[in-house]
Amino acid sequence: MLMYISCQIYARRWNNLKYFNDGFFFHKRDVYRHIKKSVATAAAIVLCFQGVSAVPGLSALMGICGITDRVNLGPETVYAEPVIAKGQIPAGDTNVRIRTESNTNCDIITKKNGGFTFDILQVVKTSDTYDWYKIGFNHEGSYTTGYIFGEYVQVLNDYNYEENTDFEAYLNKQGFPESYKAGLRQIHAQYPKWNFVARKISVDWNTFINNENVNGRSLVSGSSISSWKSIDAGCYDWETDTYVAKDSGNWVQASKELVEYCADPRNYLNTTNIFAFESLAYDSNTHNESGVNNVISGSFMANSSHDLSYNNQVYNYASALIVAANQSGVSPYHLATRILQEQGINGTGNSISGNVSGLNGLYNYYNIGAYKSGDLSAVEVGLKYAALEDSNTLRPWNTRMRALIGGAIFVGKAYINVGQNTIYYEKFDVFSGSYYHQYMTNIQAALSESAKAATAYTEEFKRDNAITFYIPVFNNMPSAACSKPTGDGNPNNYLAGLSVNGISLTPSFNMYNSEYGAVVASSVSSVTVGANAVSGKASVSGTGTYNLKYGTNVINIKVTAQNGKVRNYTVNIARPN
């Protein structure tokens, strides 16, 4: 009997076929195994093995058969596309859509709730803020691929870890807390050659978080869910029901809960985000154009027509970034991910357009010195910086290559070569004592950039090489990793107005005051209470007509924000007897 596999590839005696570590393994009887291109008995046999214990690896099979997708062998699944990590929908999320493409204008395959797990096949960066993940999962009896919005993905792994006394001793010698070990064990199970170095940070965890949570220091897109955005003083205007922009492009202050999640090293302990802890120093034995091409694949830098001539030579982006790496000492993979972070997957950032009015012909690929100042946008300030003279960093950056190389030199001198030599440390300045010296304010940058950095290496390279990761450990950390906030809905539960017909309240209404009093004549037997909320998304209860008894009458008005948070207002009305 022939069973369906994928892409019109078929196998005989599928129940004897096993897959392990990029190879097909057979067991039981000494029989022929045929891989065919159709269900027809007469179809051409493209592979035939007899009486063998193992056959060539999956890549060879894919090359012969032209497989580009999963191979479904009934109870066994062969991965014709590498699984880069495992993932799940976070607890509390419901009706999360899995789509046919990486956008919201396509068909929905299915909807899933928190706890649903899947294979992560690819990270697809479609905006400067969020990624999409290409995933594989079982759906209606078959292995299906689809796309899920990155906001609803928690990256994890579930590879079987067999206890290894040497590795356990190594973790203990490094001084990793117990809460780090589960993630490190899972990574080790998949990549046993990788090294993990505990970097002890002599800073209290709460001190670290409080400093990272300073207003304006850690930002998130204004389009994010509400639990990711701060409502602290100076971050949210309750009277106008708006978040306060901290940088151009509607970037607002991140909530403390999101800061904790993004700053917690334990949330990076998976085979994707672990690259936030990889050294960003250039290594000519490791970094090459092929890896750069993997990083920039699908972006504006792939197959670009930009003029990248320099010193009488013409480069493409991959070769140009190798030149920049040589001169700066910074990993070309990091330079590529930094550019994508700053300028977007499609290169729509005005800092590299070359046509900003009054600053034509200037480029700033890494957005160095770019911050909003008065009436000037961050782009304008950054390009004014690019216009200054500085031979050490090849300024002015009046060609694309001078901006690529000179900016890389700046990044090396200011960050990579002075201790802030990982993506994590570029964001979280734990060494200067000021917490101010950070490359980016985007609180999610280390997570998103590490996911992109992981794509630079082939699966074979990652399996066969001892990559080293420098992982921070703080003093007095929570016993478990900080959770990612998931709540959403407008937070505003204030009243914009409160009145009792024909009666003056004491004190006069102020949205921040929750208790009021009034006295009526003994002849007044009823009153009508009116109230309206600041936010049109909030609900108000407790209004209407009330009959008054003699003595004190307590009327409660409840304002429920869209996110479910409740605020109570009280009116005490005295009716003398």
H helices present in 50-155, as ranges: 58-65
**Structure tokens that stand for 376 in this block:** 């000037």
Note if the pTM is more than 0.75. Answer: no
Mean pLDDT of 288-312: 94
* 378/364 Cα distance (integer angstroms): 11
What is the pLDDT, as a whole number, of residue 543? 98
**Residue 243 above 60 pLDDT?**
yes
Express each pLDDT in 342-379 by its tens digit.
999 899 999 999 999 999 999 999 999 998 888 999 99
For the chain, give the number of residues.
577
* 412/405 Cα distance (integer angstroms): 11
Express each pLDDT in 506-516 by its tens digit.
999 999 999 99
Q: Is 547 in contact with 541 (CB distance < 8 Å)?
A: no
Return the HEC string of 494-534: CEEEEEECCECCECCCCCCCCEEEEECCCCCCEEEEEEEEC
What is the pLDDT, as a whole number, of residue 569? 98
- Using a pLDDT cut of 90, give the percent of the chain over it: 64
- Using a pLDDT cut of 70, give the percent of the chain over it: 84
What is the pLDDT, as a whole number, of residue 72? 39
**Structure tokens that stand for 73 in this block:** 């062998």
Mean pLDDT of 173-188: 94
* Residue 575 amino acid letter: R
* 363/354 Cα distance (integer angstroms): 6
Mean pLDDT of 521-528: 96
Residue-by-residue DSSP string for 246-277: EETTTEEEBPHHHHHHHH-GGGG-STTGGGGG
**Residue 29 above 70 pLDDT?**
no
- Give burial (CB, 10 Å; 0-12/13-18/19+) of 65: buried
Cβ partners under 8 Å of residue 349, min gap 6: 342, 343, 367, 379
Mean pLDDT of 370-399: 95
Residue with tokens 């009015």: 357
Express each pLDDT in 100-154 by its tens digit.
999 888 999 999 987 788 988 888 877 655 679 999 988 887 788 999 998 888 8
User: Taking CA 481 as the corner, what is the angle to CA 476 and CA 483, rounded to the nearest 5 degrees?
Assistant: 125
In order of 162, 165, 167, 204, 275, the CA distances from 171 in angstroms are 15, 10, 6, 22, 18
Backbone angles phi, psi at 449, to 5 degrees: -70, -35
**Residue 37 above 80 pLDDT?**
no
* 64/77 Cα distance (integer angstroms): 19
pLDDT band with cut points at 50, 70 and 90 for residue 233: very high
* 574/577 Cα distance (integer angstroms): 10
* 180/186 Cα distance (integer angstroms): 11
